[in-house]
């Protein structure tokens, strides 16, 4: 059996789906379905069981088994709201919970593949896996970095596989429930579904209007790297996961406009409250991932946006 925490969420549900595509249906999904809309992410998936996040946490703290041998844990469950400033809640949800999952796996030799975040690099331009580049600027990023740091201390003594993947800007089907935290592709599609313009921020931090750069990675690629790690048990460590190529918001907007066959770009003032914490440039340094042996190419913006919007359409963005 494979456990996927956050399995009804955006990336987690896509991991479940790819497991199913590989013929693996013995999947235990762990999540919090207070927002019941997340069930639509799993409506076409095959599961062996479901557990509420709190029930799962109690069971791993008590050292209980799950009725079958656990082959691996994909730990995707977290509070991903970058605007959440309740630090106690964030550390309990993202740091302490992750430590509990980690120690449960270590005690049993279960491979653990977990979601970290490129937000740990803050507003810097460098994403090489070096401590000097890690400067989180919000509570979410801090919680992710603290767990990475906790793992780094333990790494010399760990014998089983543990992999952390620092996700860059992920987009694709299954993110509708994320609301304001969904990708710009989601928001641009919604804007053109009900109007005729895509709204981007004006220039800031030395960048022109809409020329801020991000590393946008399609969720299929993210799920594929997770599953590749599962089949390469000798690989452990923390790795960046993006395309390795930064693209402008103008590029993304144009790709969405091209799919709709209509629309224009307009620019709105840059929010004052984001000036000190906005990532104007992100690009994944993939040297670690490539050195580990992952060789597959990543989907570009034009292909990814077309694939995404072909799946969800314009009338009901997801």
Q: Is 140 a catalytic residue?
A: yes
- Annotated catalytic residue, options 50, 178, 267, 278: 178
* Dihedral over Cα of 118, 122, 126, 132: its sign: negative
* Tokens (6 digits) for 33: 């379905």
- Ramachandran class of 140: left when φ > 0, alpha when ψ lies in -120 to 50, beta otherwise: alpha
- 3-state SS track over 58-119: HHHHCCCCCCCCCCEEEECCCCCCCCCCCHHHHHHHHHHHHHHHHHHHHHHCCCEEEEEEHH
What is the distance between the alpha carbons of residues 194 and 53, in angstroms, rounded to a whole number? 36
Residue 111 CA to residue 100 CA, distance in Å, equals 14
Hey, is 266 helix, strand or coil?
Answer: strand
Distance of CA 263 to CAs 55, 137, 257, 259, Å? Answer: 47, 34, 6, 10
Answer for the pair 81, 53: CB distance below 8 angstroms, yes or no. no
Taking Cα atoms as reference points, which of 7, 109, 94 lies closest to residue 49?
A: 7
**Alpha carbons 215 and 144: distance in angstroms, whole number:** 19
Candidates 140, 218, 281, 308; catalytic one = 140
Question: Residues in the chain, how many?
Answer: 318
Phi-psi category of residue 92: left, alpha or beta, with phi > 0 → left and psi -120 to 50 → alpha: alpha
Coil, strand or helix at 313: coil
Instruction: Report CA 34 to chain centroid distance, whole Å.
Output: 20
Cα separation of 69 and 259, whole Å? 46
Active site residues: 140, 178
């Amino acid at each position: 059996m494979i456990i996927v925490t956050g399995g009804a969420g955006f990336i987690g549900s896509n991991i479940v789906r790819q497991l199913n595509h590989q013929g693996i249906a013995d999947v235990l999904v762990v999540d919090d379905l207070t927002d019941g809309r997340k069930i639509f992410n799993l409506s076409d998936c095959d599961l062996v069981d479901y557990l509420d996040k709190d029930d799962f946490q109690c069971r791993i703290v008590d050292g209980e088994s799950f009725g079958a041998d656990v082959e691996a844990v994909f730990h995707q469950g977290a509070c991903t709201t970058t605007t959440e400033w309740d630090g106690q809640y964030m550390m309990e949800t993202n740091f302490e919970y992750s430590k509990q999952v980690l120690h449960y796996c270590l005690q049993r030799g279960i491979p653990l593949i977990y979601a970290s975040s490129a937000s740990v690099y803050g507003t810097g331009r460098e994403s090489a896996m070096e401590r000097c580049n890690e400067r989180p600027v919000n509570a979410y990023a801090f919680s992710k970095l603290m767990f990475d740091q906790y793992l780094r201390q333990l790494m010399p003594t760990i014998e089983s596989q543990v992999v952390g993947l620092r996700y860059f800007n992920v987009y694709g089907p299954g993110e509708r429930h994320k609301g304001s935290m969904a990708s710009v592709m989601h928001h641009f599609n919604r804007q053109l579904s009900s109007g005729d313009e895509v709204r981007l921020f004006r220039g800031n931090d030395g960048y022109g209007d809409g020329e801020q750069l991000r590393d946008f990675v399609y969720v299929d690629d993210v799920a594929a790297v997770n599953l590749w790690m599962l089949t390469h048990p000798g690989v452990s460590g923390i790795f960046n996961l993006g395309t390795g190529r930064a693209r402008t918001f103008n590029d993304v907007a144009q790709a969405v406009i091209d799919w709709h066959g209509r629309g224009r770009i307009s620019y709105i003032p840059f929010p004052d409250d984001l000036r000190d914490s906005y990532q104007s440039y992100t690009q994944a340094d993939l040297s670690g991932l490539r050195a580990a042996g992952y060789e597959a190419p990543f989907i570009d913006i034009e292909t990814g946006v077309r694939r995404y919007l072909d799946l969800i359409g314009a009338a009901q963005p997801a």
